[in-house]
Structure 1
Amino acid sequence: MSYPVQRSDAEWRQNLTDEEYAVLRQAGTERPGTGELLDEERAGLYSCRACGNELFVSGTKFDSGCGWPSFYESVRPDAVELLEDRSLGMARTEVRCASCGSHLGHVFPDGFGTPTGDRYCMNSVALSFEPGTQE
Structure 2
Amino acid sequence: MGCLPVATASSSYKNCSKAGNLTSKFHNEILAKTVQKLNEQRKRTNKSAFVMLNLYDAFLSAMKKHRKHTGSLKVKMNPLEPCCVGSCGSVDKSGVKLYNVCKKPEASFFWDSVHLSQNGWQTVYLALRSSLRKLIRI
TM-score where L is the length of structure 2: 0.24
* TM-score of the two chains, using structure 1 as the length reference: 0.24
**Higher normalized strand content (fraction of residues):** 1
